Amino acid sequence: MKLTSKGRYAVMALVDLARFDNINPVSLRDISLRQGISLDYLEQIFSKLKKDQIVKSIRGTHGGYVLSKKPNEIKLTNIFHAVDEKVKTVQCKKESKKGCNGKSTKCVTHNLWDELENHINTFFEKKSLEDLLKNNIERRT
Amino acid sequence: MKLTSKGRYAVMALVDLARFDNINPVSLRDISLRQGISLDYLEQIFSKLKKDQIVKSIRGTHGGYVLSKKPNEIKLTNIFHAVDEKVKTVQCKKESKKGCNGKSTKCVTHNLWDELENHINTFFEKKSLEDLLKNNIERRT
DNA sequence: ACATACCTGACTAAAATGGTCAAGTATAGT
DNA sequence: ACTATACTTGACCATTTTAGTCAGGTATGT
């Protein structure tokens, strides 16, 4: 299972982006300063987000990034998928056609991980950027 | 979030144990052979399982391990907890009282991880060894 | 006594993580 | 045209975690 800082940063940055993306694009430098995330690292993350068309980039002075869709259309699943945070639990070796751990049958836990994966994905499919945004605005009033 | 092979091995080993633990204790050597897990690694894992009283050990010839409770009383939560597989997602630095990422407020994703954690724990609290056992027996008939 | 099997702790190679660094390219504003 | 801003790309790296191995025990049934 992979769910690390990269995914967290991606979500934080996108919430930030969603909040300030009104008229002008938002520069990574601003996000970096506001969220306390290294600029260089943000660039890596945003290049992936762009590849998955979650954000659009605008170059040049006063350039920056803009969301490609509305906040309620961006689910957390999409974000994690973009930055390679696979909600994929321990792999039973799948290269070998044989089964898990070189045995001829599936290991007893094989189905378990599939179920867990579904369970987690359900959670992330329901949550959108907008949900987080709301939650955050409420808390700051 | 940590959910690695150690946890998977622990579950596999315990299911194996539950299946063969009828009259005699089961030796790690047998589990190692049946499940294809290194004996030395199993010993590490079982020392933790023992510390959390999920299994009992019997020394000497024909010794081995035995479950401390009935399979339906052993939830996966207990197992993962024992082997230090914390279903704990990305940490926002908690040492600093200030908040996440050195900012004075909680980061926007802070609550999200708590929710996720609960969501996953719910899953593991419902699943017991017995469930896996049943599932496995069904499949092999 | 001796084989079996648990017990303990130190060690380690390889991979993943969380970045940094360097050298660009594109564009807006002057 | 120049220049500052900001995106773009790819290589690099220190640290930590993972998934074990290794070496030496200790306890106990036969």
For chain B, the structural domain boundaries read 5-140
Half-sphere exposure of B113 (CA within 13 A, CB side): 22
- Name the pLDDT band for B96 (thresholds 50, 70, 90): very low
- Indicate if the pLDDT at residue A32 is higher than 80: yes
pLDDT at B97: 44
In chain B, % of residues over pLDDT 90: 62
Pairing outcome for strands A64-67 and B55-58: unpaired
pLDDT at A141: 56
For the domain covering B5-140, report its CATH number. Answer: 1.10.10.10
pLDDT (mean) for B72-82: 95
Amino acid at B5: S
Amino acid at A12: M
B56 token code pair:
């009992």
Query: Which nucleotide, over all strands, has the C1' atom closest to the CA of A56?
Result: D7
- Name the pLDDT band for A31 (thresholds 50, 70, 90): very high
pLDDT at B114: 84
- Indicate if the pLDDT at residue B87 is higher than 70: no
CB atoms within 10 A of CB B3: 22
CA-CA distance, A104 to B102, in Å (whole number)? 51
Tell if the CB–CB gap between B36 and A127 is shorter than 8 Å: no
- Closest chain B residue by Cα to residue A113: B8
At B131, which helix (H) or strand (E)? helix B129-140
CA to C1' distance (Å), from B79 to C14 = 27
Residue A14 and residue A132 in contact, taking contact as beta carbons nearer than 8 Å: no
- Indicate if the pLDDT at residue B98 is higher than 60: no
- Rounded to 10 degrees, the C-alpha dihedral A100/A103/A105/A106 comes to -20
pLDDT at B135: 80
- Name the pLDDT band for A41 (thresholds 50, 70, 90): very high
**In the predicted model, what is the mean pLDDT of chain A?**
85
Per-residue pLDDT tens digits for A49-102: 999 999 999 999 999 999 999 999 999 999 999 997 776 666 665 444 445 665
Residue numbers of B between 21 and 80 with CB closer than 8 Å to A: 35-37, 76
Half-sphere exposure of A114 (CA within 13 A, CB side): 7
